[in-house]
Amino acid sequence: MNLRQSQRMQAKIKLAIEGCSGSGKTYSSLLLASGITSWNKIAIIDSENGSADLYAHLGNYNVLTLQTPFTPEKYIQAIEVCEKAGMEVIIIDSISHCWEYLLEYHSGLQGNSFTNWGKITPRQNSFIQKVLSSNSHIICTMRTKQDYVLTEKNGKMIPEKVGLKAVMRDGVDYEFTIVFDIDIKHNAVANKDRTGMFVGKPEFLISSDIGKRILQWCNSGADINTVILALKNAQTEEELYSIYHQYPEWREQLTPALMNRKLTLQSQEKQSIISNPSNILNYGNNAAITS
């Protein structure tokens, strides 16, 4: 266990946009993504019957079309394809289809319903964990169950579509850094925001400028490349491990630099011993190092 001071790291945004059908989730996701990176570094994983291609006039983004069944494993594979292609922003449109597949799969299982969730939850968790651990920025869209309310317009009561609960596992919104709700007029509000930039603010239209603000926030923390450089410059193994243990969330990426520097330090120590034989006392065939 290591106690350390809090420090925000540079991050890849994990963001969700939820709204009813026709609220503009796909369009808004693309505009937001274009503020984070160039169009050719944006990919859409499309399970919405080709809706991703409707906005091709915006820019030369990439599309990966999913076919049924929309299994968690298929989504994970699609994310990996985008990562290997060097995509910097991955839009998953939408993750609601994955949850609907799992609900349908669960309903078809024999036996105890509660016990059968043990076959569902690990698959859902693997998918969400893949989203959270990806080294790309990820935007997930979620459909909300919809209803109609009567609103007054020009003296007449007109039915208006409104979104209710997202079609997804309860509590999944807690996994994201930002969750935007979009209404049928395309206005967005943040119902969750760990950045502090949007929560409590008036409704707004999502644009590329919103993406630029999010990118600036992502880049304002500690940089992993700076940490790797610090590891390479460590003068002792104690200093080396002290730096390494400060960043447990980057352990996998930092381990190669740690091991390389450790070998270098050990080699330098052996060379120092050989170069200073006066520091070695020989006892037969054994050697003891004096301080």
The model's pLDDT over 10-21, given as tens digits with 9 standing for 90+, comes to 789 999 999 988
* Any domain includes 5: no
**Whole-number pLDDT of residue 277:** 62
Reported as a pLDDT band with limits 50, 70 and 90, residue 249 is low
pLDDT above 60 for 28: yes
Structural contact between residues 5 and 130, judged by C-beta atoms closer than 8 angstroms: no
Q: How far is CA 284 from CA 274, 281, 288, 291, in A?
A: 17, 10, 11, 20
**Whole-number pLDDT of residue 291:** 40
Our CA angle for 222, 219, 85, nearest 5°, is 110
Instruction: State how far the Cα of 75 lies from the Cα of 142, in Å rounded to an integer.
Output: 14
* Any domain includes 156: yes
pLDDT above 70 for 1: no
Of 87-101, 107-121, 214-228, 266-280, minimum mean pLDDT range: 266-280
Q: What number is the average pLDDT over the span 113-125?
A: 93
Check whether residue 276 and residue 247 sit in a common domain. Answer: yes
State how many domains the chain has. Answer: 2
Instruction: Name the token pair of 156.
Output: 């007449």
Q: What number is the average pLDDT over the span 99-108?
A: 94
Domain final residue pick, 218, 235, 268: 218
**Whole-number pLDDT of residue 8:** 72
* Any domain includes 8: no
Q: Residue with structure tokens 């079309």?
A: 65
Reported as a pLDDT band with limits 50, 70 and 90, residue 288 is very low
pLDDT above 80 for 147: no
Instruction: Name the token pair of 77.
Output: 């594979």
Instruction: State how far the Cα of 92 lies from the Cα of 108, in Å rounded to an integer.
Output: 26
Check whether residue 97 and residue 234 sit in a common domain. Answer: no
